[in-house]
């Protein structure tokens, strides 16, 4: 055998190396997917097990099979709604945050840019102060339209007279949020009873909410997730800039509008169901991006997986650290998300 033939047998073709790299990438993603599913399952189990009275995994299975005593069954079943709401709100906020960061090409963007949190809060305050509404069950029927109207108003102002501009959109969100915040402050300071009712909702919590809130918010979140899937491929083209997106056959205006509507529906349903919860929509996209890369199709899928995990674990921590009382999940996520925000800012400074 001559030297040339020996070299050809020792050096694999370039195509084989590419195939191996793709195979390794797929295997890595499958591994992360399985790890994410396991983490979500464990977080859901922990959400049902831990609380003011700690139960066991055996108690959970006994409740599912109908073999638990009445007291244990009542305790376990009372945690089903907060677990379901944690999955819904976590997935919705994380996907909405990923959409906002992709649409604005700003790693510090979150659903709050659309004024959704302020709109939901304004809806609750208005209903409590002037319509006599009260209770956690009724809050969603006022928070949801308030959040949706605020998001649509921000989009209308940000796109008036031209195609939607990113700077105009952010400024419109800031203006609408500031005006609504001033209105909320005016009403709550002038009506102490309204403030007492509002302050429990505005912190953000999964507990104390019946299962009917989950079923009310679910259709809006489902439509938002469906729209997010539809625009996911277009976000990859949008990341290259509007001119490049046009050259690839994409419509930046339609992609941006669809993504904003999806983010509004997702953030509105989550905020109306559990109150304003900060940092989930900001922190999870950064975590996911470090794992799966820049493909928005993968980012959205893994955000829907890791968002609920983060929110449920934060809720469990809040229940455990201050037992027998509990720390609101909105406070815990702020402590978790703040370091992520600082890390993102440091990275932006390093690349500026």
- Domain 84-351: assigned CATH number: 1.10.3470.10
State how far the alpha carbon of 22 is from the alpha carbons of 12, 15, 27, 87, 135, in Å: 16, 11, 9, 32, 53
Cβ-in-10-Å burial (0-12, 13-18, 19+) of 299 comes to buried
How do the domains of the chain map onto residue ranges?
Answer: 84-351
Distant-in-sequence, close-in-space partners of 296: CB < 8 Å, separation ≥ 6: 98, 102, 232, 233, 235, 236, 239
Give the contacts of 265 (CB within 8 A, at least 6 positions apart): 148, 220, 221, 223, 224, 227
Tens digit of pLDDT per residue, the chain (352 long)? 454 444 444 444 555 555 666 666 778 888 888 999 999 999 999 999 988 777 888 888 888 888 878 888 888 888 999 999 999 999 999 999 999 888 888 777 788 877 888 888 898 888 888 887 665 666 778 888 888 888 888 878 877 655 456 677 778 888 999 999 999 999 988 888 888 778 777 778 888 888 988 998 999 999 999 999 999 888 888 888 777 878 888 888 888 888 888 988 898 889 888 888 888 888 889 888 888 888 899 999 999 999 999 999 999 998 888 877 788 888 888 887 777 667 766 765 554 4
- Between the alpha carbon of residue 232 and those of residues 6, 235, 325, the distances in Å are 48, 5, 41
Query: What is the model's pTM?
Result: 0.84
């Amino acid at each position: 055998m001559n030297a040339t033939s020996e070299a050809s047998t020792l050096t694999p073709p370039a195509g084989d190396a590419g195939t191996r790299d793709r195979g390794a990438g797929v295997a890595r993603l499958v591994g992360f997917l399985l790890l994410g599913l396991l983490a979500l399952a464990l977080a859901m189990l922990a959400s049902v097990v831990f609380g003011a009275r700690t139960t066991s995994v055996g108690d959970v299975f006994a409740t599912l099979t109908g073999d638990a005593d009445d007291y244990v069954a009542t305790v376990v079943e009372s945690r089903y709604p907060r677990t379901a709401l944690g999955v819904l709100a976590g997935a919705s906020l994380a996907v909405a945050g990923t959409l906002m960061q992709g649409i604005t090409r700003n790693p510090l963007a979150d659903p709050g840019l659309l004024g959704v949190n302020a709109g939901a809060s304004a809806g609750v305050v208005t209903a409590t102060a002037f319509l006599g509404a009260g209770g956690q069950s009724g809050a969603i029927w006022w928070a949801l339209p308030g959040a949706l109207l605020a998001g649509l108003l921000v989009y209308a102002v940000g796109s008036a007279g031209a195609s939607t501009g990113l700077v105009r959109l952010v400024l419109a969100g800031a203006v609408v949020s500031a005006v609504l915040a001033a209105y909320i402050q005016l009403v709550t300071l002038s009506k102490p009873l309204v403030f007492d009712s509002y302050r429990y909702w505005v912190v953000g919590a999964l507990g104390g909410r019946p299962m009917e809130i989950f079923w009310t918010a679910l259709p809006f979140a489902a439509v938002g997730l469906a729209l997010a899937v539809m625009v996911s491929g277009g976000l990859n083209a949008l990341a290259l800039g509007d001119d490049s997106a046009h050259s690839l056959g994409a419509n930046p205006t339609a992609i941006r509008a669809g993504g904003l509507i999806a983010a509004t529906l997702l953030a509105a349903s989550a905020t109306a169901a559990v109150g304003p919860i900060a940092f989930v929509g900001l922190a999870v996209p950064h975590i996911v991006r470090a794992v799966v890369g820049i493909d928005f199709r993968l980012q959205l899928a893994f955000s829907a997986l890791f968002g609920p995990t983060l929110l449920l674990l934060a809720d469990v921590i809040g229940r455990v650290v201050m037992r027998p009382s509990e720390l609101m999940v909105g406070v815990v996520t702020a402590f978790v998300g703040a370091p992520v925000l600082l890390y993102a800012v440091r990275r932006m400074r390093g690349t500026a």
